[in-house]
Chains A and B, each alone.
Chain A
Amino acid sequence: DAKTTQPNSMESNEEEPVHLPCNHSTISGTDYIHWYRQLPSQGPEYVIHGLTSNVNNRMASLAIAEDRKSSTLILHRATLRDAAVYYCILRGLINYGQNFVFGPGTRLSVLP
């Protein structure tokens, strides 16, 4: 199964940009890169996903390396509400559930 690795924790100041990295060196050509975030005692929330090209939405931007072995979630202006655990995961063509593996993620702290 394709796996991802992320830093355990990161810290940011409020209203500054945040770049959350993710490595996925064993990604296959059909794997989509998904990002979710989870607040305490809540279910994960979808943030963004992509395949090859960079993606933007109202929440964040996703920058995907040309070789697709890494990606970066960009929060353009961090707010206190962005403090959460961020998960980078891969969703593949087969075995949907088993390919959607959630590691420990990156715990983002936002300082006022």
Chain B
Amino acid sequence: DQQVKQNSPSLSVQEGRISILNCDYTNSMFDYFLWYKKYPAEGPTFLISISSIKDKNEDGRFTVFLNKSAKHLSLHIVPSQPGDSAVYFCAASVRGGTSYGKLTFGQGTILTVHP
């Protein structure tokens, strides 16, 4: 049961353009969402997060949008840079209770930014 899905295994973007990474979830109990970036043979690095009480959070070149009714979130990177090339994971959690802190990850999307 894949509760968090990233349906695009890969995305290729030209440097300077916008990268849009998508993520869908099925569990309506999720109330906190995160995006992580991962290079090969390394652990994920936290990028940005959003609480379910918001629909947008921005941090520099990174913006996360949340559409709760559609159970969909997206990560926008603009402008994209070659150094952004990595695997991007979205993750979701239920804050509080016995599930406190546990993350459910999507399958990841490989982003390649071409110079």
Q: Do A and B bind each other?
A: no
